[in-house]
Amino acid sequence: MTDTAADAEEVPEVEPEPEGGQTVQLDDFCELRFEALSTSSFWVKLVEGKAEVFGTELVRQRRYHFPAGSKAAVFTFSGCELKVWGETESRYTSKDTHAVTVYVNCHAALQQLRRQAQEARRRGPRVLVCGPKDAGKTSLCRQLVSWATREKSKPIYVDVDVGQSQISVPGTMGAVPVRKPFDIEEGLETEQAPVLFQFGHTNPQANINLYFYMMNRLAEYVNKRCEYDQDANYAGLVINTCGWIKLEGYDAIKQCASAFEVDLIFVIESERLYNDLKRDLPSFVKIVTLPKSRGVADRGQEIRQELRDRKVTEYFKGPLLSLSPHRISMPTSAFQFYRLGVQALPSSLLPLGHEKSEREEHWRRAVRVLPDRSLLHALLGVSQATSSDQLADYPVYGFCVVVDVLNDSVVALAPASGTPPSNLMLVSTATWMMS
């Protein structure tokens, strides 16, 4: 891979370096793995050599901040010296980094396919990453995207994991062209706004038909993007999926592969999933099984909720929590609030001849929500649709969160001031309380 950040000029410290700290020496192909305490932060500085975090290189002499509860790993191909500060739940160095070597080889193969696509002026590789919960899917996607951009490729990153989306707030699926590696502290940085669909739940099971439908709609937007953005077309897609791999979850993986027309699937730590996909998908789809990194930690429901809350906090306050959201008022006479999907009525209660249409449409039907106290703390998606019957078909501009409900208006926090660009609001089951 082409080295960039590590060869850049050294960045001076913005803040005085704290006293103390510990020096850590890493040999080649070694990794420093750590989990920060839930009550305190952790800092890492690269003193000598070269190192990276999930595919993004560290700049020498810059001190990187990892917030409380963070789990990460600093990897080096050629050895390095680090300095670290802060208390951790666990911290150790490991030479068991075989998985990283395998992932790098996957990246090299993808880069070769991208070069061939550019030479032949055809579509580049579209890779889908799947596997069970806590297998390291998101970390691998982040590495593949960051390594690609370090070699000047510009892939589109797609995330259909509505529970732990890396592109936006929980309950959404989205896609965005990426031009540079993930920022170690601030995460995904993009020059263009992502395409986001508000599914409205953090679990696909809540409305699996709507999940499939929005996935197909997102794929249509991605394909249109590739038609006029040749850089993205040659670089292809990297698609992250949720960890639900059985029953309808397995159907979701197949649906995703079909919708985005993938030609390569990376399966992490599931021989059964690998064999099922080999059996059920067309032969032109190449399926590769990959090992799970030994540094990947299991996450319980409480940790998953904390990560979702942190993602919403970052949306409104910025990745470094340095911004303040704006208070906006939405008159109830001008704004409408909806949820997508209703419980299907039994056939016995339906008029004769309406049974089929009811069963087919109930899952994406827009249901009006009264602007009452039940909306408090709910995330609202500002829809790009022009009528309520189009809410499932169009992405959203962005999000706001309800902080008060008055007699004639709903008060919300938004990342920008001014009147929202649409009066159609999609209500999510995901909530957030500003601390």
State the CATH number of the domain containing residue 371. Answer: 2.40.30.330
Per the listing, tokens 């160095």 go with 93
Q: Verify that 247 and 114 share a domain, yes or no.
A: yes
Q: Verify that 46 and 66 share a domain, yes or no.
A: yes
Q: Residue 72 belongs to what domain range? A: 5-95
Taking the model in full, what pTM does it have?
A: 0.91
pLDDT value at residue 2:
46
Q: Any idea how long the chain is?
A: 435
* Final residue before a domain boundary, out of 290, 308, 334: 290
pLDDT value at residue 322:
85
Q: Verify that 149 and 77 share a domain, yes or no.
A: no
Residue 282: inside a domain, yes or no? Answer: yes
* HEC string for 191-250: CCCCEEEECCCCCHHHHHHHHHHHHHHHHHHHHHHHHHCHHHHHHCEEEECCCCCCCHHH
94's CB contacts (< 8 A; 6+ apart) are 30, 31, 33, 294, 295
Residues making up the annotated binding site for ATP are 31, 71, 134-139
Q: Verify that 130 and 242 share a domain, yes or no.
A: yes
pLDDT value at residue 319:
83
Residue 131: inside a domain, yes or no? Answer: yes
Question: pLDDT in tens for each of the 435 residues of the chain?
Answer: 544 444 444 444 445 677 788 999 999 999 999 998 888 899 999 999 999 999 999 999 999 999 888 889 999 999 999 999 998 999 999 999 999 999 999 999 999 999 999 999 999 999 999 999 989 999 999 999 999 999 999 999 999 999 999 999 999 999 999 999 999 999 888 878 899 999 999 999 999 999 999 999 999 999 999 999 999 999 999 999 999 999 999 999 999 999 999 999 999 999 999 999 999 999 999 999 999 998 787 777 888 888 899 999 999 998 888 889 999 999 999 999 999 997 654 555 445 555 555 455 789 999 999 999 999 999 999 999 999 999 999 999 999 999 999 999 999 999 999 999 999 999 999 999 987
* Final residue before a domain boundary, out of 95, 111, 140: 95
Residue 302: inside a domain, yes or no? Answer: no
Q: Verify that 136 and 260 share a domain, yes or no.
A: yes
* CATH code of the domain covering residue 144: 3.40.50.300
Q: Verify that 150 and 187 share a domain, yes or no.
A: yes
Residues making up the annotated binding site are 31, 71, 134-139
Residue 361: inside a domain, yes or no? Answer: yes
Residue 319: inside a domain, yes or no? Answer: no
* Final residue before a domain boundary, out of 95, 129, 164: 95
CA dist 197 and 174 (Å) reads: 6
Q: Verify that 65 and 202 share a domain, yes or no.
A: no
Count of domains observed in the chain: 3
Q: Verify that 232 and 196 share a domain, yes or no.
A: yes
Q: Verify that 88 and 103 share a domain, yes or no.
A: no
Residue 175: inside a domain, yes or no? Answer: yes
Residue 312: inside a domain, yes or no? Answer: no
CA dist 169 and 22 (Å) reads: 36
* CATH code of the domain covering residue 60: 2.60.120.1030
Residue 205: inside a domain, yes or no? Answer: yes
pLDDT value at residue 352:
54
Q: Verify that 230 and 144 share a domain, yes or no.
A: yes
Kindly report the CA angle at 412 between 202 and 414, in degrees rounded to 5?
A: 75
Per the listing, tokens 């397995």 go with 250
Q: Verify that 261 and 388 share a domain, yes or no.
A: no
Q: Verify that 129 and 200 share a domain, yes or no.
A: yes
Question: Which amino acid type is present at position 323?
Answer: L
pLDDT value at residue 268:
96
